[in-house]
Amino acid sequence: MGFVGATVVATLAKYLTVYRQRENVKELQHDEFLTRHLELMIGDYKQKYDPTHDIRVNVMLPQSKRELSYEGGGFDYTHEQYLQIAHCAGGGIDSDIREHDCGEQDETTTPWGVDQPAEGNCGRAFVAGEVRVAGRVPAEDRWPGQETTHGQDRDTRAVNSVLSVPIRNSEAGEPIAVLNVDAPAPLRETSFESDEVQRTVAERYASRLATVV
């Protein structure tokens, strides 16, 4: 029995190791595919609209955080839902806008709540299921509308305009993620408010991501 047990354990350990390695490879290939897709999107966008400023793009996915705490003689259960950057492209040393994951604050770790009231342009786009645009004066620290926290304002200080487009489930049509295009330029200098640009980003880019995010 001892030999059989050891054999089963060894076989199971080998299976889990190989399985996990395969899953890691799949995840890496998936991330590389999405990153490449976003890079191609930036190139395509620049070629089509020839912006005078750099742009970045990112895909935000919904996350959940559940906590059970004990306070005041009773248990308290909280369930928080938020968006967080999962894939991004653009920016860098030779750009006029930094990368999402460099500097003192890492934008990829910044949460954007989608419980009411939704936080930020991305949160409102996800909850409402519609294309949203937001901009701020570069000299101002806060985004308009008081819908962001000081931490969110700080983490996005390189950004002054953003276009957020829901990525919808191809079957149910419900938002499952958000595609953001942002820039350091003021909103008046971007084309984010253009109906053509919004339609192009939604139909040409966001719709194609629905099956792979």
Give the lowest-confidence range in 17-21, 97-101, 113-117: 17-21
Query: How many domains would you assign to the chain?
Result: 1
**Average pLDDT, stretch 182-207?**
95
Task: Summarize pLDDT for 49-90 with one digit per residue, the tens.
Answer: 999 999 999 999 999 876 665 666 665 656 689 999 999 999
Q: Specify the CATH number for the domain of residue 48.
A: 3.30.450.40
The phi and psi torsions of 193 (rounded to 5 degrees) equal -85, -5
CA distance 7 to 3: 6
pTM summary value: 0.82
Task: Measure the CA–CA gap between 88 and 59, rounded to whole angstroms.
Answer: 6
H helix intervals, the chain: 2-49, 120-128, 150-155, 195-200, 207-209
Higher pLDDT, 16 or 100: 100
Q: Which residues neighbour 42 within 8 Å (Cβ) at sequence distance 6 or greater? A: 55, 56, 57, 89, 90
- Model confidence at 7: pLDDT above 90: no
Read off the tokens for 140: 């101002």
Tell me which residue range forms the domain holding 43. 2-209
**Other beta carbons less than 10 A from residue 51's beta carbon:** 16
**Per-residue model confidence as pLDDT tens digits over 161-176:** 999 999 998 787 899 9
